[in-house]
């Protein structure tokens, strides 16, 4: 898988990234550490060298699992992690970074991101200038290589960029969830900021493996995902039916088709989670699919069967 440059930095990442929210276990059901370690390692062996995690995923548990899977090949992988919205004061950012470094068993983080804007989830309001000052300090120390943000609007992104170089934005983005295209994507294109799309498979919906009538355990975060509910879910089933013939033409799965479409969008890379090694290996194969312009346009049109009926709320879950 050919690597891409992240923003204007000297960091190279794979266009398909391994997402590890599920490895933290919290808000997921039926996750086993041994499976997570094996899956992350399999992603690496299949060519996915960029791994995305966060301090809040199981209160550091995901980061520790990543380290368990990849510490022996640390010089061949790129770690991306995040500081949560309740740790955005200057000293809190420094302390959070040190915890993540310890969890990841490393002395540097390749990409360090603000996970949610200040005030999210009733967190204290902290001026972005203060948070960026801490991140710039960590960068100067060599503890982090590149600064990114996650879940920021275009306005919030532009404000943060006043105080330091932002090289990536991590928004929810998939064929079935596309608000970023109208909001922050134009700013990212203009300013050479890479997009790292999370929930790139709409939390598994784009795999086609969740038929009508699917119900999730209440403890599973997908039980509150708007895309799995009511008419949204019905529209998704219709769209998936129309995508299947295209996947057959490329001899690929629906998931691979959706990932290939996503990484063909401007500035965009895809974070794909996986519970099992086979899923991670399948995700990696999407990095080598070259869609024709005509098929990209057709897939785009099919995706709008879902997205044309969504409101403008950028949050995918009814939390």
Q: Per-domain residue ranges for the chain? A: 4-204+253-290
pLDDT digit string (tens) for the chain, length 319 residues? 899 999 999 999 999 999 999 999 998 889 999 999 999 999 999 999 999 999 999 999 999 999 999 999 999 999 999 999 999 999 999 999 999 999 999 999 999 999 999 999 999 999 999 999 999 999 999 999 999 999 999 999 999 999 999 999 999 999 999 999 999 999 999 999 999 999 999 999 999 999 988 989 988 889 999 999 999 999 999 999 999 999 999 999 999 999 999 999 999 999 999 999 999 999 999 999 999 999 999 999 999 999 999 998 888 888 7
Rounded CA separation 6/14 (Å): 9
The two most distant CA atoms of the chain are separated, in Å, by 54
Q: Pick from 203, 161, 156, 207: which is nearest to 180 by CA?
A: 156
112 a catalytic residue: no
Q: How many C-beta neighbours within 10 Å does residue 143 have?
A: 19
User: Under a CB-based contact definition with an 8 Å cutoff, are residues 280 and 43 in contact?
Assistant: yes
pTM of structure: 0.96
User: Under a CB-based contact definition with an 8 Å cutoff, are residues 156 and 117 in contact?
Assistant: yes
Q: Which residue out of 44, 57, 112, 198 is catalytically annotated?
A: 57
Please give the CATH topology (third level) of the domain spanning 4-204+253-290.
Answer: TIM Barrel (3.20.20)
């Amino acid at each position: 898988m050919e690597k891409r440059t992240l923003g204007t930095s000297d960091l190279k990442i794979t266009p398909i990234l391994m997402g590890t929210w599920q490895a933290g276990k919290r808000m997921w059901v039926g996750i086993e550490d041994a499976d997570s370690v094996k899956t992350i390692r399999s992603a690496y062996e299949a060519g996915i060298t960029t791994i995305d995690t966060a301090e809040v995923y199981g209160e550091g548990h995901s980061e520790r699992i990543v380290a368990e899977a990849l510490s022996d090949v640390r010089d061949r992988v790129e770690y991306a992690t995040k500081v949560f919205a309740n740790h955005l004061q200057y000293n809190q950012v420094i302390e959070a970074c040190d915890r993540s470094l310890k969890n990841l068993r490393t002395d540097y983080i390749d990409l360090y991101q603000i996970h949610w804007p200040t005030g999210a989830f009733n967190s204290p309001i902290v001026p972005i200038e203060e948070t960026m000052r801490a991140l710039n300090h960590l960068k100067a120390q060599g503890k982090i290589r590149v600064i990114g943000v996650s879940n920021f609007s275009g306005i919030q992104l532009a404000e943060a960029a006043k105080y330091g170089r932002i090289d990536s934005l991590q928004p929810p983005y998939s064929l079935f969830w596309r608000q970023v295209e109208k909001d922050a994507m134009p700013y990212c294109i203009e300013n050479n900021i890479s997009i790292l799309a999370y929930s790139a498979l709409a939390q598994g919906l784009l795999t086609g493996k969740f038929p009508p009538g699917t119900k999730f355990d209440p403890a599973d975060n997908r039980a509150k995902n708007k895309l799995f509910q009511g008419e949204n879910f019905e529209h998704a089933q219709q769209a998936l039916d129309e995508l299947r013939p295209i996947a057959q033409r490329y001899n690929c799965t629906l998931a691979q088709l959706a990932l290939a479409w996503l990484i063909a969008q401007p500035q965009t890379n895809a974070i794909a989670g996986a519970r099992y090694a086979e899923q991670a290996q399948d995700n990696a194969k999407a990095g080598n699919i070259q869609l024709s312009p005509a098929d990209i346009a057709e897939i785009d049109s099919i995706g709008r069967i879902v997205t044309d009926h969504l409101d403008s709320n950028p949050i995918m879950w009814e939390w």
